[in-house]
Structure 1
């Protein structure tokens, strides 16, 4: 994908209302920016939590396009305002780099994924609260839409 925004999620969004909200913001985002949303399968339920994170992490990294900027959602990451997120996306796009935002499954992201983000991307936190990964997906897509609207000068965001 040429410079644009990518999202990598673990698992399908099973809750209908959250799936509809995620789809709505993905559609709105696609009208303002080049974007791609991909998912990887959940690891088998029989796996212990650490093994699930490891398997899902490897699948996420395998789908990460070459040259992409890995941006993981992680509670230990930096918190950015909507305007700061918009500025970071604009800076990546101005440098012809594509940020790929990754949301792990129920047990989070593996250390391997965290290290990849630390070495060549960013760790982004939606705050100190813990969100179910399906809800984090919706919040992320809304914030990406908000950032795109800020970068386009549209009146969606109010300071």
Structure 2
């Protein structure tokens, strides 16, 4: 199985978000190797300028063999079983490695969206990016539990 990478913009500011990220990343790592890469967030400028700067940082962290899954409200929604099935395909692909990308406070640049191999949504509502990261990590953990037949998923 290929390891999973999570590429996020900026460090989580609130301690409870950092703790939740750490908790679920550790939980995912009990099933499959997973790493988190944090790209510096742009602190000044208009939203479009920030997205462009952050997008450059994200694109620099993506390799040609990465299967890039970006989170965006316009993406495909999966239920837990569907996400588990999709994750199985991604981690078993011998040629590419799954890489989940979450943008900053203003989302993702057009360049990052264009680089995406798949666009996924966590639901119809808008989430703060720090919460979206936690929800993504929890959902990936839940998917790994489903794949292992563990009792976490109810």
TM-score past 0.5 threshold: yes
After TM superposition, the structure 1 = structure 2 runs for residues 98-109 of structure 1, keeping only pairs within 5 Å, are: 98-109=97-108
What is aligned with 2:9?
10
Q: TM-score, normalised by structure 1?
A: 0.93
Provide the rounded CA distance (Å) in 2 between the counterparts of 1:18 and 1:28: 15
How many residue pairs get aligned? The number is 153
Q: TM-score, normalised by structure 2?
A: 0.96
1:26-66: CA deviation from partner (whole Å, max 9, x where unpaired): 011111111111000001x2211101001111111110133
- The Cα shift of 1:89 comes to 1.1
SS of equivalent residue, structure 2 residue 30:
helix
- 1:92 lines up with 2:126 in the alignment: no
Alpha-carbon RMSD across the aligned residues, in angstroms, is 1.1
SS of equivalent residue, structure 1 residue 32:
coil
Provide the rounded CA distance (Å) in 2 between the counterparts of 1:63 and 1:46: 21
Gaps of 5+ in 2: none
Segments ≥4 residues shifted beyond 2 Å: none
